[in-house]
Amino acid sequence: MSIGQSYRLAALPRDAGVTLARLRASGRMPAVVYGGSGSPVAISVDRHDFEQLYARVGTRTPFDLEIAGGPVERVVIREVQYHPRRLGAQHADFLRVTG
């Protein structure tokens, strides 16, 4: 990442009525945002966009997470979970960056 460059990832609030299997079949993956002074928020992100961003920023570079209908959060990727037989990420945890 060059100096002054920032990254963004779009997210949607997760609908409790949609099963995880259906969510993943639509190309999205579940995630959660936590930490800082806010309460945890269940979201979903586009899996392809997430994997491209993860390849660029890893777990140490902060970036902007744009949750539809909510504020832009500054976060880092805390953990990524993978299925043992399926390719690609299955779930991600984002930690809010404060300060």
- Classify residue 23: in a domain, yes or no: yes
Distance CA 51, CA 68 (A): 20
Distance CA 78, CA 90 (A): 14
Q: Report the number of distinct structural domains present in the chain.
A: 1
- Over residues 30-65, the pLDDT tens digits come to 999 999 888 999 999 999 999 999 999 999 999 999
Residues of the domain holding 82: 11-96
Residue 80 has pLDDT above 90, yes or no: yes
**In CATH, what number is assigned to the domain containing residue 15?**
2.40.240.10
- With beta carbons less than 8 A apart as the criterion, state whether 30 and 23 touch: yes
pTM as predicted: 0.90
- Classify residue 4: in a domain, yes or no: no
CA atoms within 13 A of residue 77's CA, in its CB half-sphere: 22
